[in-house]
Structure 1
Amino acid sequence: MTNLNEFTTLGLDSRLIKQLEAQGIDTPTDIQRETIPVMLQGKDVIAQAQTGTGKTFAFLLPILEKIDTEAPEVQALIVTPTRELAIQITSELMKLVEERDDVNVLAVYGGQDVERQIKHLNKQVHIVVATPGRLLDHVRRETIDLSHTSYLVLDEADQMLHIGFLREVEDIINETPESRLTALFSATMSSDIKQLAKRFMRSPEKIRGKEKGKTVEEIEQFVIETTDRRKFGSLTETIDEVRPFLGIIFCRTKRRVSKLNGDLKAKGYLSDELHGDLSQSKRESVIKRFRDAKIQLLVATDVAARGLDIEGVTHVFNYDIPQDTESYIHRIGRTGRAGGDGASYTFIAAKDQSFIQMIEKGIGKKLARKTVEGALPDGEERNEERRNDQRSRSSHSSRKTVSSNNRNRNSGRNRNKR
């Protein structure tokens, strides 16, 4: 059996195999091998797989195999948490149908002209790739009808829920017929995901992707203990030492992303920023420059970087520590693509100790501490940071006490009024 015949045995027709061959794809990944036959049989699927495992083709190929191009309605809906991921999936989909004129695809996401999208929707559309907010906008305008949808894919479902899209996802599901096939793809399997599946899926087949570019265990992970004052110097020293081919640096807020990017540029680094305040054209330009290695470092917020699947990312730097284990796993999962080497560096100050302990407990391993010469404060600076941290906690505790006392006084007054 040749590798190409292996795709044939999964139940795909010659047109799809020809397109795969044109892209140099001749061997299905584990997630594709397991998911495609199940979806072709019409069964619901829960697949635990990270970006970079081939999961996009795992749901696109069976949809294209089963779609009825003679029917005028939307038959397949793919919902993603971010514009970047919607654009990426649409791009992969267009490659698969570029030799066909009988399949119409539309991407629906924020940052685009709504009227232009409506014009496209007046034509026959078979497959919609969308973000939740803009999709529901069209549903309310009655410019998208999901009542004939046969296939619903929730991609990066954990991230949609993590961002706060649970209600929107539920509303979208309720717009589709109960007879639909539902495929849910998620890197992690939280209790919210399980509850969503229990409510809206019918005896789903559970599939766990074995290929993850690199698993959490395989990515080299280091913690660099420093202070807020010395963090920037620690970062640049680490970058100079490890010399990333492509590196993503995560910050907590858009403001911190812009500040850090400006500081890196001032030091001569080839960097740019990615966050929610950028226009769509600027975001796409930044991602393309990073993908083409025109810039070496991408400074980003969590939300902006979700769904990015860029080969060649060798390093992830957590300039600001993630606030939970799930975000940590998603961040470091940006590196080690296609089996390449991957490493992550998390910079922590004294106040971050509780977060790093929570992350270590969540991933089930103690992270190696790495010493960077410029990172370690002298004794006085370390003591000052501890004092500041204690003051912060004391102030927070005082505010809670004052607030509690005020509530008690108000409660007493209210009782006197009764």
Structure 2
Amino acid sequence: MDAFRLLTRSTKFKSVTKPAAEPAARLPSAGTAAIPQLFRTAEADKLESKHGKKRKRVPATEEDDGANAADLDFFHSTKRAAASSTGVPAAKDDQDQASGQRDESESESDDAMDEVERRTILNSHKIKVSDLRDLDEIQPPAPAKESKKKKKKSKKEEAPALSKKEQKRARRMYPQPLLSFKELRTRYKISGRLANNVAEQGFAMPTEVQLGTLPLLLGNSPGTNSNTLSEPDLLVVAPTGSGKTLSFLIPTINKIIRHHHSNTEEHGVLSVVVVPTKELASQIVNEGRKLVAGTGVKITLMRKGMRVVDREGEAEVDALNEDSDASGSEEEEDEDASKPQKDENKTPVTKSDILVTTPLQLVNSLSSNQTRPVANMPLVRSLILDEADVLLDPLFREQTLDIWRSCVHPDLRVSLWSATMGSNIEELTRSTIKERLERIGQTSNTLHPLVRLVVGLKDSAVPNIDHRLVYAATEQGKLLGLRQLLHPTAAAASDVRLRPPFLIFTQTIPRAIALHSELKYDIPAEAGGSSRIAVLHSDLSDNQRSDIMRDFRKGEIWILVTTDALSRGLDIKGLNGIVNYDIPNSAAIYVHRAGRTGRAGREGGVAVTFYTKEDIPYVKSIANVIDASEKLRGADGDKSIQKWLLESLPDLSKKDKKELKKHGVKARQISKHIGGKDGKDKEQEERENRRARISTKSGFERRMENRKRGAIAASRNRKATAAAEAVADSDEGSWDGFND
């Protein structure tokens, strides 16, 4: 170990560094180690270190090597080096498993926590676990209490109903937390190859969402309301960048490995991960391939034309139905209908175990491009909805529910994950699960309840980044403020400083294209010029989008202008910040946009939001999110949202919130049909379009350009008219034949 660090461990030593180097060291792209856990207390540290003392004996040299390696570990904290290294080490191969069985059994018995310790650790990390079943199904009354209640039946009937606080208290659960990834092998007996893959990725300390969800999903977690509780249906609300992908991939892969050992004949899709965007699907597949290496589990990205189920039997039934209702032209129609069936049968059914897809792609595959009813997937045992609030939004709801209903296996487990999830999503989930249980003939699900896990404050932004609201007054002011971020001058230390790479979000695709064309020459040619800035939106092809994302991750593109297509799930650890050039349509969208930076607990990220005079009615919801985030961080002195600002901003009605969520700020929408639209005259619409235009050109320059375009068009018209007249004059002397 470093002797200097060892001697100064108990002192508050401040290294002498230059002030100019401090901001650069705090940038997320600098690669400095960060604590992945956002919330914790000193009391929880004592309990976690207490339960980490029982471990396998290792030589002193190995301990020192582990301490030195902790300094280079991205997910390791120097403050927690001793606690994380005292867990039971995972077995590297089958020989280590055989030699360490006795130590593992001892650690399981010694490390068991009582309810008070579990509650202390979960509360310190701001983790709330609740059972969403009915109160009479959660836990039957104790025998002693039953005898007393039988004697006093009249008093029981007159007893008032439980209050909301009492109901919440009755629903609370305190499962055994996961203190180290090494416990996945020693306590939960996951696959040895999977445990090695997790260790090779550098994961040592679990984040809050992993600390709470992995014991639940791996099953038989002590501290639940039922001793026989196994894997539940799960609703997870956790901040962006907190490690939700790893939380559902590890249990899913381990479940499939166990299935392969017990059932060697069944081959097909066993788990489906549904996400709203293709970029997020590709990212999950890339992360999953690192974890499934050497396990025999295959994870695949859904592509166009891929077959998920075999529909040969259903095709024959459809052909018989068509024969019974055919007309005189039946033979020709059958020939045309048989052609795509033959092409479809040529494509083999995928043998992947985990399928990652967007809703429309999977529904099109199951319904043969919506020409047939949606086919069932009888082997699927795990359905994972990532960014569930979007998937169950009206835009994707029917497609997502079709996928949910197509999973007909009796042991299906469903998990929903997002950073923002409203009560309507919970009600829809409960009703869908109840409908499915009735369809398969079950009245209740006592062994697999619906559990909700919330990390931190619900629907709140990550507290480890700086949030800034900047008033720009007009569209030209926003463009000027953005250029100041691109070209920072020698300003005061309190000013916003944002360095590439970063994302710029706009409200619509045309505005993203216009902003890109306006900024692409702002970067000097010596630094790469226009190649350093790009635009990405849903109108681009899949190959174009993947190429842009590849260059952005490699660092060849510094600034990426985009819409909300990249606001969810995108994980780029070196992203220094984001800019909301246009104000988000809702507070939830702001949470996800700001969550693109500050991933895995990294500090130094910046989220800048510009707003104009037209945006003032919509700012309060964003300001409330920022204020809640700063309260979680404990920033009382240097808060960016002052109390007087929250009190002066107007409240938005429910109707206006719905309109904003659907269409965005109306001042950003450019009218395509000038004159007579919605009772507006031509001058008024031109004035509104001028306000929404992204440009720094003056009115004089625009008039000169319009005059030049008009002169060119008039010259072309004159040439065309002259050519037509010349042709007419040449035809006057020709003979037209005899007239009747």
User: Which moved further from structure 2: 154-163 or 82-91?
Assistant: 154-163
User: Which moved further from structure 2: 146-155 or 5-14?
Assistant: 5-14
State yes or no: 1:228 paired with 2:228: no
Per-residue CA shift, 1:372-408, capped at 9, x if unaligned?
xxxxxxxxxxxxxxxx98xx9xxxxx9589xxxxxxx
Distance in 2 between the 1:99 and 1:120 partners? 27
Across the two proteins, how many residue pairs are aligned to each other? Answer: 374
* Residues 87-98 of structure 1 mapped to structure 2, 5 A cutoff: 87-98=282-293
Distance in 1 between the 2:375 and 2:249 partners? 21
Of 35, 53, 58 in structure 1, the residue corresponding to residue 242 of structure 2 is 53
State yes or no: 1:206 paired with 2:452: yes
Q: In the alignment, is the contact (CA less than 8 A) between 2:184 and 2:195 conserved in 1?
A: yes
Task: Give 1:12's aligned residue.
Answer: 190
Could you say what secondary structure the match of 2:499 adopts?
coil
Instruction: Give the fraction of aligned pairs with identical amino acids, expressed as a percent.
Output: 31
State yes or no: 1:127 paired with 2:322: no
Could you say what secondary structure the match of 1:25 adopts?
coil
Distance in 1 between the 2:623 and 2:299 partners? 43
* Residues 16-415 of structure 1 mapped to structure 2, 5 A cutoff: 16-41=194-219, 42-67=231-256, 68-69=259-260, 70=264, 71-100=266-295, 102-108=296-302, 112-114=303-305, 122-141=349-368, 145-162=376-393, 164-177=395-408, 179-201=411-433, 203-209=449-455, 215-226=461-472, 227-241=474-488, 242-268=497-523, 270-340=532-602, 341-361=604-624, 364=627, 368=640, 399=678
Distance in 1 between the 2:500 and 2:555 partners? 8
* Pair 1:287–1:54, CA change in 2 (3 A): same
Q: In the alignment, is the contact (CA less than 8 A) between 2:597 and 2:605 conserved in 1?
A: yes
CA offset at residue 187 of structure 1? 0.7
Per-residue CA shift, 1:66-113, capped at 9, x if unaligned?
11232213211111111111111111111112223x3232211xxx44
Distance in 1 between the 2:181 and 2:594 partners? 33
Normalised by the length of structure 1, the TM-score is 0.81
Per-residue CA shift, 1:11-44, capped at 9, x if unaligned?
4221111111222223332222321221222211
Could you say what secondary structure the match of 2:475 adopts?
coil
CA offset at residue 65 of structure 1? 1.0
Q: In the alignment, is the contact (CA less than 8 A) between 2:268 and 2:350 conserved in 1?
A: no
Question: Which amino acid counterpart does residue 486 of structure 2 have in structure 1?
Answer: I
Q: In the alignment, is the contact (CA less than 8 A) between 2:505 and 2:563 conserved in 1?
A: yes
Distance in 2 between the 1:331 and 1:238 partners? 18
Q: In the alignment, is the contact (CA less than 8 A) between 1:7 and 1:26 conserved in 2?
A: no
Distance in 2 between the 1:170 and 1:61 partners? 25
Per-residue CA shift, 1:109-168, capped at 9, x if unaligned?
xxx442588777524222111110000011112897412211111111113234711111
Q: Which runs of 5+ in 1 are unaligned?
A: 371-387, 393-397, 402-418
Question: Which amino acid counterpart does residue 210 of structure 2 have in structure 1?
Answer: Q
Distance in 1 between the 2:297 and 2:552 partners? 31
Per-residue CA shift, 1:253-309, capped at 9, x if unaligned?
111111111221111262111110122122112112212222211111012442211
Distance in 1 between the 2:363 and 2:420 partners? 25
Distance in 2 between the 1:309 and 1:193 partners? 25
* Pair 1:272–1:92, CA change in 2 (3 A): same
Question: Which amino acid counterpart does residue 7 of structure 1 have in structure 2?
Answer: L
Could you say what secondary structure the match of 2:487 adopts?
helix
* Pair 1:171–1:312, CA change in 2 (3 A): same
Could you say what secondary structure the match of 1:18 adopts?
helix
Distance in 2 between the 1:291 and 1:144 partners? 38
Distance in 1 between the 2:450 and 2:306 partners? 38
CA offset at residue 183 of structure 1? 0.8
Distance in 1 between the 2:405 and 2:418 partners? 20
Distance in 1 between the 2:451 and 2:304 partners? 38
Could you say what secondary structure the match of 1:313 adopts?
coil
User: Which moved further from structure 2: 280-289 or 162-171?
Assistant: 162-171
Distance in 2 between the 1:333 and 1:16 partners? 28
Q: In the alignment, is the contact (CA less than 8 A) between 1:29 and 1:211 conserved in 2?
A: no
Considering Cα pairs closer than 8 Å and 6+ residues apart, tell me whether 1 or 2 has the greater RCO.
Answer: 1
Distance in 2 between the 1:161 and 1:257 partners? 27
Q: Which runs of 5+ in 2 are unaligned?
A: 1-86, 90-179, 220-230, 309-343, 434-444, 489-496, 524-528, 631-638, 643-665, 671-676, 681-740
Distance in 1 between the 2:568 and 2:239 partners? 11
* Cα RMSD for the two superposed structures: 3.1
Question: Which amino acid counterpart does residue 95 of structure 1 have in structure 2?
Answer: K
CA offset at residue 363 of structure 1? 5.3
CA offset at residue 237 of structure 1? 0.6
Higher strand share: 1
Q: In the alignment, is the contact (CA less than 8 A) between 2:627 and 2:641 conserved in 1?
A: no
* Pair 1:188–1:27, CA change in 2 (3 A): same
Q: In the alignment, is the contact (CA less than 8 A) between 2:577 and 2:606 conserved in 1?
A: yes
Normalised by the length of structure 2, the TM-score is 0.47
CA offset at residue 329 of structure 1? 1.0
* Pair 1:158–1:115, CA change in 2 (3 A): closer
Distance in 2 between the 1:324 and 1:120 partners? 43
* Pair 1:399–1:302, CA change in 2 (3 A): same
Per-residue CA shift, 1:354-379, capped at 9, x if unaligned?
11123224555698379xxxxxxxxx
Q: Which has the larger radius of gyration?
A: 2
Distance in 2 between the 1:262 and 1:303 partners? 19
Per-residue CA shift, 1:156-186, capped at 9, x if unaligned?
1113234711111111111112531111101
Could you say what secondary structure the match of 1:182 adopts?
strand
Distance in 2 between the 1:4 and 1:113 partners? 37
